[in-house]
Chains A and B, each alone.
Chain A
Amino acid sequence: MKYIKQIYLAIIFLFLYAPIAVLIAQSFNASRYRGHWTGVTLDWYVKLFNDQRIADALSNTLSIGLLSAGIATILGLITCVAMKEFSRKWRATFMSITNIPILNADIVTGISLMLLFMGIGLKLGYVSILLAHIVFNVPYVILCIMPQLMTLDKSFYEAALDLGASPFKAFTSVILPELRPSIFAGFLLAFTMSADDFIITHFTKGAGVDTLTTAIYAQLKLGVHPEIYALSTLVFVFVLIFVILFAINRRKLKHIEEVI
């Protein structure tokens, strides 16, 4: 039985990593066509750093990701704090409104926002992508912050008020520090969702503005430039290192806990 379990894990593992292995291999392939292996090269990595279009798309992805995640985190946090004060019934109603962009299909959200932007005369471009990303990021932030906020102990906050702090001061010095992990998680999740989104960006972007995902999609028909493989290999390695460091740290922490 133990072997069956290990084999099962191995098969799923293979299924998940096979395409990633193919992409990494392609970033070293001398041929610019996928499926034709003509030797090993590092050219694509060199060319990657001289490619202005990829640099533009990458900077759009990063700036839209950071800005939309930041604004969504602030809006989501304020909304969570307000929702906590409502009765259960109202809170449930507001929560189902906030959840609409997650439960809705991306293609419907994308088209509906495009129609709105064109309807109010906003030119499709950087700003429209940013607004659209905030729309679908807010619910992810709320899903991260709300559960922790609901379990928060009110008495410290009330103690701060009794000791003469203003509500704002009490909020920033008592509630905010307690919420820090979930605020951080919400921000990170929002950034990830923004960086990986294709469908909503596809419908809300204008000509001339591209994020990485839309730049890749534009290349798909004629063959993706191998520089893109090089870039995604670098991103993957970067995340992998981050994860390994995280795992090592965690193990060390556990070890220390056990010793104590």
Chain B
Amino acid sequence: MFNKFTRNILLTPFLIWAGLFIFVPLIFIVWYGVTDYDGNFSLGNIGLIFERGYLDALKLSVELALISTVACLLLAYPLCLILTERQRDNTTIISLLFILPLWMNSLLSTMAWQTILEHNGIINQFMKLLDLPTFHMINTEGAIVLGMVYNFLPYMVLPLFISLSKIDRSILEAAQDLGANSWQKFFRVILPLTLPGAISGITMVFIPALTTFVISALLGGGKLLLIGNIIEQEFTFQYDWHVGCALSVILMIFIILNMLLTTAFDPMKEAGDEH
């Protein structure tokens, strides 16, 4: 469309922008992570992570993030299958109804879960009304997982829904005509075709779930600490930025692994191929 000179000029603002606001900040984190207060190279921060027992928090974060991701995947597949199946005009309305909750501030809706789950909360008051035993739900790992699924389910539903609605109906009919039952149709046709969507959903749920500190602060009662809570505390209460940065560097390893996974199943590939 343009000559090479114009093209390069047009890309320059972004390259400068990305250098200043994407790469330099990340270098800052790594730099703080591997230096001490005097600016000397030191691996002491990593040692402190072991000493202070932060690895337990990391382990708990990975576990809860994995459970939430699997739960989102298991909830989203049937949901998207049902939504794409009814290709009638009320599909738009139903889909919009599933996007609408995103517009509620997520801090407030997570706090509303507190009101629902706590000892004198809505569920327990309802149980008392029926003379049934009450449950202990708030400040448990289960409550945190529920909060994660509530907050991140849309990130799983959207890519899955898009890749499901792209499947040609005739392929599914062909599978049926050739004698596949519903399970075979799902595992041998639908699942392979929607794998890129599922992968992008998995990465989009796993990273925020792994690094959240809001959900665990609200639904974990400040006793169940995730890696995000510890990083946040290092920056806002303890003022030990070097340890906070060292923890962030550990998180970045997970993020890079995730990015590699995404590029292996690049959803933009199709868009890039057309030229």
Contacts and interface: CB of A to CB of B under 8 A. Distances in A.
Contacts of A154: 1
Contacts of B92: 247, 250
Contacts, number: 218
Contacts of A28: none
A103 B22 CA distance: 12
Interface in B1-34: 1-2, 4, 6-8, 10-11, 13-14, 17-18, 20-22, 24-26, 28-29, 32
Given A18-B112, A112-B29, 18 more contacts: A75-B13, A81-B10, A103-B262, A104-B207, A107-B251, A111-B245, A113-B25, A135-B21, A150-B272, A150-B275, A198-B107, A198-B214, A213-B107, A216-B107, A224-B108, A246-B96, A250-B92, A254-B89
Chain B interface, DSSP helix/strand/loop, else mixed? helix
A82 interface: yes
Interface string B247-264: 010011001001100110
A35 interface: yes
B213 interface: yes
Interface residues of B, number: 85
Size category of the binding interface on chain A: 35 or more
Interface in A6-27: 8-9, 12-13, 15-20, 22-23, 26
Given A112-B25, A199-B214, A22 B116 contact: yes
A167 B1 CA distance: 9
Contact of A105 (B18, B122, B218, B251): B251
Interface of B: 1-2, 4, 6-8, 10-11, 13-14, 17-18, 20-22, 24-26, 28-29, 32, 75, 78-79, 82, 89, 92-94, 96-98, 100-116, 118, 120-122, 150, 153, 203, 207-208, 210-211, 213-214, 218, 228, 231-232, 235, 241, 244-245, 248, 251-252, 255, 258-259, 262-263, 266, 268, 271-275
